[in-house]
Amino acid sequence: MIVERRYSDEFLPLDQVPRDLAAVMKLMAPVMRYAASTYPKEAFADQTLGIHLGRVVLFWQRHLPSWGNATEGERFLWVHDIDEIEDKQDITAPEIAANPPLGVDKKTKGLAIAQKYLSPENCLLYQRWNKAGEFWRAESDNASDTMALAVKLIDIVDSDVVFHERIAEYCNQFGVESLDPGIAGALRYAFLQFPILEQRVQLIDSQRRSWFENILRLDRQYITDYWTPVSASRIPEIIREELSKWSKK
C-alpha cells in the first residue's frame, strides 16, 4: 500500500442489507468490478459488486446530509446496480463514455431487470437513480430530486477513488510501462468529468449545495493523495498533466 489506510478496504458486510433485498444481493454480490480488458486484473482482483455496495452505503452513513433520509439513501445504493445481476459484469463509466451505445443498452435492459427482481417501491428508486444519472451527465437540468442526486454522486466518487487508488498502487509497484495503453481514456476520465460535476452542482438548491461541493472536494483530495507518494517516473503522463492542472487551481 502507498497510504496507511485504503479507502477501498472499508465497507459494510452484506448482513447489513435490508431483509427484503437479501436474496437478490446474493446474486449481485459476486459480480466483479473494474473488469475491462485494459485494466490490470491484479489491481482489482478483490473488487466485487458486494464490496462496492457495502462501501457506498458506509460512505453515505458517514457523510449523511442534514436533509437526507438515511434509510432511503441506503436503499438507493443497495439496489442501484441491479442491472448487472444477469450480465454478470460491471460496465464502467469510462467504457460507456468511449462507447455510448453501451450506456443505452445498459439503461434499456436495466429497467426490465429491476422490474423482474425488485418490488415496485425499490424499482421506483432505480428509476429515480437513472434520472439522477442523466443530471450528472448533463442530459437533463432537473435538479429537484436531491436525494437521488446525492447518492448517485457518492457512487461516482467511489468509482473514481477506488480506480485511482488501485492504479496508483499498481504503477508504484510495477511501473507505468506495465499498463495497457488502452487504459489512457479511463485514466483521464475522472479529471475530464470533474469540471462538469462542479458545473452541475451549481444547479442544485443553494441550501443543499454545500454538501455536494464537499463531496467533490473529497473526491479530488483522495485522488491527489493516492498519486502524491508515487515516484514521478512511475506516474502515467496523463495523470501528471492533470494533477499539475489541479495544483494550479
SS3 content of the chain, % helix, strand, coil (to 5): 70, 0, 30
Task: Please indicate, yes or no, if residue 175 is contained in any of the structural domains.
Answer: yes
In a domain, 213, yes or no: yes
* Distance separating alpha carbons of residues 135 and 242, to the nearest angstrom: 25
Residue 66, by phi and psi: left (phi above 0), alpha (psi -120 to 50) or beta? alpha
Cβ contacts of residue 103 below 8 Å, gap of 6+? 91, 96
Q: How far apart are CA 180 and CA 37, in angstroms?
A: 9
From the DSSP assignment, how many helices (H) and strands (E) are in the chain?
11, 0
Cell of 241: 498533466
Residue 162 grid cell: 477506488
- Mean pLDDT across the chain, nearest whole number? 92
Cell of 89: 459484469
Instruction: Please state, in angstroms and rounded to a whole number, the distance separating the CA atoms of residues 188 and 190.
Output: 6
pLDDT of residue 2: 61
Question: Tell me, what's the pLDDT at 126?
Answer: 95
Answer whether residue 182 is part of any domain.
yes
- pLDDT for 195-237, tens place per residue? 999 999 999 999 999 999 999 999 999 999 999 999 999 999 9
What's at 90, amino acid-wise? D
Q: Are 73 and 34 in contact (CB under 8 A)?
A: no
* Residue 119 confidence (pLDDT) above 70: yes
Nearest to 1 by CA among 238, 235, 234, 230: 230
Alpha helices in the chain (DSSP H): 22-28, 49-62, 70-79, 84-87, 93-98, 100-117, 120-136, 146-174, 184-201, 209-227, 237-247
pLDDT for 90-99, tens place per residue? 777 777 777 7
Distances (CA, A) of 107 to 25, 80, 84, 249: 20, 12, 11, 36
Range of the domain at 208: 7-247
**Residue 2 domain-assigned (yes or no):** no
Task: Please tell me the total count of domains within the chain.
Answer: 1
* pLDDT computed for residue 96 by the predictor: 77
For residue range 132-169, what is the model confidence (pLDDT) as tens digits? 999 999 999 999 999 999 999 999 999 999 999 999 99
- For residue 184, being part of any structural domain is answered with yes
Judge if pTM exceeds 0.85.
yes
Domain contains 138: yes
Establish if 1 belongs to a structural domain.
no
Which of 57, 93, 92 shows the shortest CA–CA distance to 197?
Answer: 93
Q: How confident is residue 52, by pLDDT bands cut at 50, 70 and 90?
A: very high
Q: Can you give the CATH number for the domain in which 20 is found?
A: 1.10.3210
- HSE at residue 228, side-chain half, CA atoms within 13 A, is 10
Task: Please report whether residue 168 resides in a domain.
Answer: yes
Reading the block at residue 28, the C-alpha cell is 449481485
